[in-house]
């Protein structure tokens, strides 16, 4: 060993110093270092688990959100469909009511028209009768008195009405 310029005394001293330092490090430094390292590793594991749990919760919330949105869409579609159906029914009811009102108005108009026609016929007959009476009275003034003349004309007019010939 002398050929390599190694001094045995210094080598043994350095080995003893190394062993003492190693023993002291093993006794005081390594346990603390490994404890800190273990604590850091546990912290990392806890945070990793917490992140996984948070990710799972996020996915669950996302699924719940989708479910709620789908339910809301279905409910909205159902409400919209129901509203459309009610609107159709209401429109149908309104149309039916309008049709009935229209028929009622037509019936009433026809009735009023018939009454008006009847009134006009009576008025026409009355005026014609007056004209005929007036003409007949003037024509027969000298031959028959007015009462007899009126009676004969009315009788003739009634016969004409029955026959449907009218004036």
| Per-residue pLDDT, 155 | 82
Compute the distance between CA of residue 61 and CA of residue 69 in angstroms, rounded to an integer: 12
**Range(s) of the domain holding residue 92:** 2-163
| Per-residue pLDDT, 11 | 85
Residues 16-25: tens digit of each pLDDT: 999 999 999 8
Q: What share of the chain is helix, strand, coil (3-state, %, to 5)?
A: 90, 0, 10
Tokens 């409910």 belong to 75
| C-beta of residue 160 within 8 angstroms of C-beta of residue 167 | yes
pLDDT mean by block of 10 residues, the chain; 167 residues? 73 93 90 92 95 95 95 94 94 93 93 92 82 68 67 79 62
pTM above the 0.85 mark? Answer: no
Q: Is 141 helix (H, G, I), strand (E, B) or coil?
A: coil
Compute the distance between CA of residue 2 and CA of residue 102 in angstroms, rounded to an integer: 135
CA dihedral 8, 11, 17, 22 (to 10 degrees): -130
Give the count of domains, the chain: 1
């Amino acid at each position: 060993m002398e050929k390599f310029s190694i001094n045995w005394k210094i080598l043994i001293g350095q080995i003893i110093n190394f062993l003492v330092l190693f023993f002291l490090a093993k006794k005081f430094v390594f346990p603390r270092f490994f404890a800190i390292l273990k604590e850091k590793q546990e912290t990392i594991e806890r945070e990793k688990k917490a992140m996984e749990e948070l990710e799972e919760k996020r996915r669950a919330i996302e699924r719940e959100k989708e479910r709620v949105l789908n339910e809301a869409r279905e409910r909205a579609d159902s409400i919209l469909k129901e509203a459309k159906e009610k609107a159709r029914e209401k429109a149908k009811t309104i149309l039916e009511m309008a049709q009935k009102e229209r028929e009622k108005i037509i019936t009433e108009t026809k009735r009023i028209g018939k009454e008006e026609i009847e009134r006009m016929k009576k008025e026409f007959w009355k005026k014609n009768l007056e004209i005929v009476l007036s003409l007949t009275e003037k024509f027969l003034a000298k031959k028959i008195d007015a009462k007899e003349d009126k009676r004969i004309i009315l009788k003739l007019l009634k016969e004409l009405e029955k026959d449907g010939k009218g004036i």
